[in-house]
């Protein structure tokens, strides 16, 4: 498998069984600290999402390196990478939502700087986000670590192969993508899905919901340019 070719062509690729049970446990223990991050979201007493975990959980960035995620990102990007964002999700029986088709356009930065090609500045949970140009978004890669099996019946991600090559799409263009154009990304525990942020993706509610825990990490190989810098760990 040529990882870079698949990602450039289709916008996504799998590294099957990239992490073993011990590596998954190492990540999960770090993701469940005694002091929870400010971006945590709960329903029916259980956590279903936690944002800001890259910056608020000590040791997470080092753990990403030690379990091999940085190395996988490097294979996809062709250069030494660093994480710029991480989000934890758990779609389960008490938090069983759907996500409509979309692209991931907003990325976290250290501070607001007047740079051409950046728009849509906003603050989410105390973190500054901006929408970079399509060129910069095309240079990023997201890795989705699966802690649990994620078949279609458990709300697996579905993607529109090749849609990342169309650049940033208007809402009407995203909605116009037919259901038949989406491919379901069934995954097993330990699988890592790599995807471009501009790849149109969605997920349906689980039909037979159980835990579907995911760590979604975005990597870059360089800062956007000028005085603008990604918000990094540490």
List pLDDT tens digits, range 71-111: 999 999 999 999 999 999 886 545 555 678 999 999 999 99
pLDDT score at 122? 93
Q: How many domains does the chain have?
A: 1
Is pLDDT at 64 greater than 50 in this prediction? yes
Length of the chain: 234
Instruction: Supply the mean pLDDT for the chain.
Output: 87
Q: Above pLDDT 70, what percent of the chain?
A: 85
Rounded to the nearest 10°, the torsion over CA 130, 224, 226, 134 is -70
The CATH number that applies at residue 163 is 2.60.120.620
Q: Residue 50: which domain range? A: 3-220
Q: Considering only residues 19 and 203, tell me which one the structure prediction assigns the higher pLDDT.
A: 19
- Output the 3-class SS for 141-176: EEEEEECCCECHHHCCEEECCCHHHHCCCCHHHHHC
Q: Quick one: which of 50, 54, 67, 20 has its CA closest to 191?
A: 20
Average pLDDT over residues 136-150: 95
Higher pLDDT pick, 89 / 180:
180
Q: What is the mean pLDDT of residues 14-33?
A: 91
pLDDT above 70 for 24: yes
Buried b / exposed e along 66-80 (16+ C-beta atoms within 10 A): ebebbebbbbbbeee
pTM over 0.85: yes
Q: What is the pLDDT of residue 1?
A: 59
| pLDDT score recorded for residue 232 | 83
> Per-residue pLDDT tens for 186-230?
999 999 999 999 999 998 766 665 567 899 999 999 999 888 999
Residue 212 lies in a domain: yes
What pLDDT shows up at residue 99?
Answer: 78
Write b or e for each residue in 134-149: b if 16 or more Cβ atoms lie within 10 A of its Cβ, otherwise e. Answer: bebbbbbbbbbbbbbb
Cβ–Cβ under 8 Å, residues 200 and 177? yes
On whether residue 52 sits in a domain, the answer given is: yes
Average pLDDT over residues 7-13: 96
Domain assignment of residue 127, yes or no: yes
Residue 232 lies in a domain: no
Please check whether residue 72 lies inside any domain of the structure: yes
- Counting Cα atoms < 13 Å in the Cβ hemisphere of 97 gives 10
Residue 166 lies in a domain: yes
Q: What pLDDT is stored for residue 2 in this prediction?
A: 83
Q: Strand, coil or helix: what is 84?
A: strand
Q: What is the DSSP letter of 116?
A: T
Answer whether residue 137 is part of any domain.
Answer: yes
Q: How many CA atoms, within 13 angstroms, populate the side-chain half-sphere of residue 162?
A: 2
| Domain annotation covers residue 226 | no
| pLDDT value of position 23 | 97
Residue 70 to residue 170: CA distance in whole angstroms:
32
Q: Comparing C-alpha atoms, which of 11, 7, 27 is closest to residue 19?
A: 27
DSSP notation for 212-232: EEEEEEEEESS--BTTB-B--
Give me the residue label for tokens 């979604």: 216
Per-residue confidence (pLDDT) for residue 43, from 0 to 100: 40
For residue 72, the surrounding DSSP H or E stretch is helix 69-77
């Amino acid at each position: 498998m040529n990882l870079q070719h698949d990602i450039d062509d289709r916008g996504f690729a799998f590294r099957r069984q990239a992490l073993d049970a011990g590596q998954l446990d190492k990540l999960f223990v770090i993701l469940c600290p005694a002091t929870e991050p400010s971006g945590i979201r709960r329903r029916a007493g259980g956590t279903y999402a936690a944002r800001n975990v890259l910056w608020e959980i000590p040791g997470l960035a080092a753990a990403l390196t030690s379990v091999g995620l940085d190395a996988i990102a490097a294979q996809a990007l062709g250069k030494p990478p660093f994480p710029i964002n991480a989000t934890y999700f758990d779609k389960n029986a008490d938090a069983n939502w759907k996500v409509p088709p979309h692209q991931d356009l907003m990325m976290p930065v250290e501070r607001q700087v007047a740079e051409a090609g950046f728009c849509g500045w906003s603050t989410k949970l105390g973190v500054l986000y901006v929408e970079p140009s399509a060129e910069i978004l095309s240079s990023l890669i997201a890795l989705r670590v699966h802690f649990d099996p994620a078949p279609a019946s458990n709300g697996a991600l579905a993607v529109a192969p090749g849609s990342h090559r169309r650049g940033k799409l208007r809402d009407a263009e995203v909605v116009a993508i037919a259901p038949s154009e989406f491919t379901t990304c069934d995954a097993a525990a330990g699988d890592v899905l790599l995807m471009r942020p501009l790849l149109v993706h969605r997920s349906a509610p689980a039909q037979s919901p159980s835990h579907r825990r995911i760590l979604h990490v975005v990597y870059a190989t360089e800062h956007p340019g000028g005085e603008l810098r990604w918000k990094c760990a540490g």
